[in-house]
Amino acid sequence: MISVLKSGLMTTIQDTGRYGYQKDGVIVSGAMDQQAHRIANLLVGNSVDAATMEITLMGPVLEFQEDALIAICGGNLTPIIDGDSVSMWKPLYIKKGSELRFGQPKKGFRCYLSISGGFQVRKVMGSASTYLRANMGGFEGRTLEKGDQLRFGQPDSLPKDSKEQLKTLNKATSFKEASWFVGPEFTDYMKNDQPIRVMPGREFDLFTEQSKEHFFNGAFQIDSKSDRMGYRLNGTTLNLENKKDIVSEAVTFGTIQVPPDGNPILLLADHQTTGGYPKIGQVATVDLPRIAQMRPGEKINFSPISHEEAQHLLLEKEKNLKQLQRGIETKLF
Amino acid sequence: MNISIHPLGDQALLIDFGESINEETNQQVRQAATKLDEQKPDWMIEYIPAFSTLTILYNPYYIAKKIRSQELLPYEWARTKVLDLLSQSSSYHSEERTIEIPVCYGGEWGPDLSFVASHNSMSEEDVIDIHMKGDYLVYMIGFAPGFPYIGGMDKKIAAPRRDDPRLSIPSGSVGIAGEQTGVYPIETPGGWQLIGRTPLKLFEADRDHPSLLQAGDRIRFTRIDEAEYKHLKEGEQ
């Protein structure tokens, strides 16, 4: 059991998402940064779809009532256990009675806390993800609050040396870090030095030459009114050549649509199932983790990518993640 | 048939059956959805039907492993599969479900009924009559869990949205906005003119089929009184 002593800015339980019910109008939700969520699970011997805790900018304070094997991946929000800062992207053995808190955020916007056995919440429509607007899923359909008690499951196969590791903790130390960690090729994506790669959307050609040009060459800024549903982007407004009514159709995580006011909206994990605004672009899936780690106020640039190339990059990334998984498994089991 | 297939990003494809909103096009969408239900392709994650399009989410990595080809893009492979599927004749015949939605019209259940009546220079009874006589089709579910986009309302009872949207509309509210009628599955803010309320639960996460309605359903609104409303409402709890 884990007790929530302080809630943090916005802390929710998420997994890979709630698929299969979009035809009923139920949104997917799930972790905004699927890469960090997935690696966090791998590091504690979980399956990739186990529930993790999504922590946003200002983290919670958590007290562990049991020994546990955990990992923290994603944005660096300065995790601290009993006064000592701890490493991210590696397994951590934490002792019963210890307290995990977060300091000043250093890099990125969200991080994921995984725990061996996964957070145990009642699954709704096959998923543990929190759907805040419908008060559904996750921990009682809401963000975590002070006083909440979170259960975690018994891992299917506890990494063999984790119990041994925990035994070696002496009275003075609250935690122990594994000696190895995930390499920078999987963790170093939080610098905003390259534009976000975008495929042209279905209505790309309906925009004026000037708007198309600006979309790829101008800069936008993420508005403060952004949330898990979408980032509102401010910059030069984008306009259609001719007004056109668009019939509502499916949109996905990464769709960039442009409402009549001309300010684009980049749809994220909590996007509605369908949308009726013209779609100027679609972010390549491999760049979504970078998007998830951007903060309101941050500048964002786009560069064009073909749909073929985006899919090739996605396949390559998936291959690399599978390789990482095998590497972690040899270390853990 | 004028069908085209387009990528929607690198993990989804969209089948476009034509640009306009009409029953024929929407029926093609449903036919394709029925075929997908029957065949349940292992590479498909889920599909999302809309007015005139059907979008399929797929797993490109799964396809790449399945086809073991370096050259063929998973999208191209999935596209061929979809064209195949669309060309097959199907056992689907337009067997429509008609869902009856009992509505308690007017009074506290439909506080805007009098507005809709006076706006159209008719009596409240006329509005109820015309609303009940409509031939309604659910084109798609979207916007919110279980929210139906319904076509077929008689323009004679059309009414503009409220100038001051209500902060909270109770679930089950039946309303009119412009030339559309709709039912709210969950409590939400909104500007629709409310003419009645149904005791039916349009959405419940723990049911086998969480959404009461699905695309392609016909709807018939029937009239109930307050006592029946309360009785049915208790049965739904």
> Which one is the CATH code of B98-236: 1.20.140.10, 2.40.100.10, 3.40.50.300, 1.10.3720.10?
2.40.100.10
Q: What angle do CA B153, B159, B161 make, to 5 degrees?
A: 115
pLDDT digits (tens, 9 = 90+) for A94-136: 999 999 999 999 999 999 999 999 999 999 999 999 999 889 9
Q: Is the pLDDT of residue A217 over 80?
A: yes
State residue B93's pLDDT score.
63
Compute the average pLDDT of residues A147-151: 97
Per-residue pLDDT, B175: 94
Contact A247, A278 (CB under 8 A): no
End-to-end alpha carbon distance in chain A? 24
Using CA atoms, how far residue A150 sits from A17, A48, A64, A98, in Å, is 20, 20, 10, 15
Q: So what's the pLDDT on residue A159?
A: 63
> Which residue does chain B place closest to A310, by CA atoms?
B10
| Domain locations in chain B as residue ranges | 4-87, 98-236
Shortest alpha-carbon distance between residue A315 and chain B (Å):
6
Q: Do B51 and A249 touch (CB under 8 A)?
A: yes
The pLDDT assigned to A280 comes to 98
Average pLDDT, chain B: 92
Return d(Cα B54, Cα B98) in angstroms, integer: 22
% pLDDT > 70, chain A: 95
Token pair of A302 as six digits: 């786009």
- Per-residue pLDDT band for A161 (boundaries 50, 70, 90) equals low
Residue A283: its H or E element:
strand A279-283
For B237, counting Cβ atoms within 10 Å of its Cβ (0-12 exposed, 13-18 middle, 19+ buried), the class is exposed
- Which residues of chain B fall below pLDDT 70? 1, 90-94, 237
Q: Which chain A residues have a beta carbon less than 8 Å from that of B36?
A: none
Query: How much is the mean pLDDT over chain A?
Result: 93
Where is pLDDT greater, at A158 or A24?
A: A24
Mean pLDDT score, A258-271: 95
Cβ neighbours of residue B33 closer than 8 Å, sequence gap 6 or more: A23, B47, B49, B54, B215
d(Cα A290, Cα B201) in Å, to the nearest integer?
A: 40
B234 or A238: which leads in pLDDT: A238
Element (H, E) at A316: helix A307-332
pLDDT above 70 (res A80)? yes
Residue B122 C-alpha, separation from nearest chain A C-alpha, in angstroms: 32
Which position has the higher pLDDT, A200 or A165?
Answer: A200
Using a pLDDT cut of 90, give the percent of chain A over it.
85
**What mean pLDDT do residues A200-208 have?**
97
Distance CA A80, CA A62 (A): 11
User: Residue A164: what pLDDT?
Assistant: 66
Rounded Cα distance, B136 and A58, in Å: 49
Measured in angstroms, the CA of B75 and the nearest CA of chain A are apart by 8
Higher per-residue pLDDT: B15 or A160: B15
As a whole number of Å, the CA-based R_g of chain A is 21
Poorest-pLDDT segment among A143-157, A302-316, B90-104: B90-104
- pLDDT band for A157, please (50, 70, 90 cuts): low
Q: Which residue in this structure is represented by tokens 């599969």? A: B81
A vs B: CB pairs below 8 A: 130
What are the φ/ψ torsions at residue A317 (nearest 5 degrees)?
-60, -45
Asked if CATH classification 3.30.1360.40 holds for the domain at B4-87, the reply, yes or no, is: yes
Q: Which of A22, A59, A7, A8 is nearest to A270 (CA)?
A: A22
Q: Which residues pair with A64 in a beta bridge?
A: A2
Spatial CB neighbours of A285, under 8 Å, sequence gap ≥ 6 = A254, A310, A314, B9, B10, B11
Q: Please report, as a single letter, which amino acid is at residue B89.
A: S
**CATH assignment of A196-316, given 3.40.50.720, 3.20.20.70, 2.40.100.10, 2.60.120.260?**
2.40.100.10
pLDDT, mean of residues A10-24: 97
The whole-number pLDDT of residue A333 equals 76
- What DSSP designation does A139 have? B
10 Å Cβ neighbour count for A125?
A: 19
Name the band, by pLDDT with cuts 50, 70 and 90, for residue A325: very high
Report the DSSP pairing between strands B53-58 and B44-49: antiparallel
The mean per-residue pLDDT over the stretch A175-192 comes to 91
* Domains in chain A: boundaries: 2-189, 196-316
B41 touches A at CB < 8 Å: no
CB-based contacts of B24, cutoff 8 Å, min separation 6: none
CB B74 within 8 A of CB A315: yes
3-state secondary structure of A212: helix
pLDDT of res. A172:
65
3-state DSSP assignment of residue A211: helix
More confident call, A155 vs A163: A155
What is d(CA B76, CA B18) in angstroms, rounded to the nearest whole number? 21
- For residue A212, give the nearest of A221, A224, A200 by alpha carbon: A200
A285:B10 CB<8 A: yes
- Determine how many CB atoms are found less than 10 A away from the CB of residue A329: 12
Indicate which of A16, A23, A271 best probes the interface with B, i.e. most B CBs within 10 Å of its own CB.
A23
DSSP state of A244: -
State both tokens at B220: 């018939």
Is A34 an interface residue toward B (CB < 8 Å)? no
In the prediction, which pLDDT does B167 show? 86
Q: Write the single-letter amino acid at B193.
A: Q
- pLDDT confidence bin for A149, thresholds 50/70/90: very high
pLDDT of residue B92: 60
The pLDDT score that the predictor gives to residue A230 is 95
Neighbouring CB atoms inside 10 A of A268's CB total: 20
Among the partner residues A23, A199, A254, nearest to B141 by beta-carbon distance: A23
What is the DSSP secondary structure assignment for residue A89, as one 8-state letter? S
Distance (Å, whole) CA B178 – CA A88: 54
- Spatial separation of the C-alpha atoms in residues A34 and A267, rounded to whole Å: 15
> Which H helix or E strand runs over B66?
helix B60-67
Q: Chain B residue closest to A279 (CA)?
A: B8
Looking at residues A49-65, what average pLDDT do you find? 97
Select the residue of A199, A274, A282 nearest B142 (Cβ to Cβ). Answer: A274
b/e A274-304 (16+ beta carbons within 10 angstroms → b): bbbbbbbbbbbbbbbbbbbbbbeeeebebee
**Residues of chain A contacting residue B189, judged by C-beta atoms under 8 Å apart:** none
Looking up tokens 């009532």 gives: A65
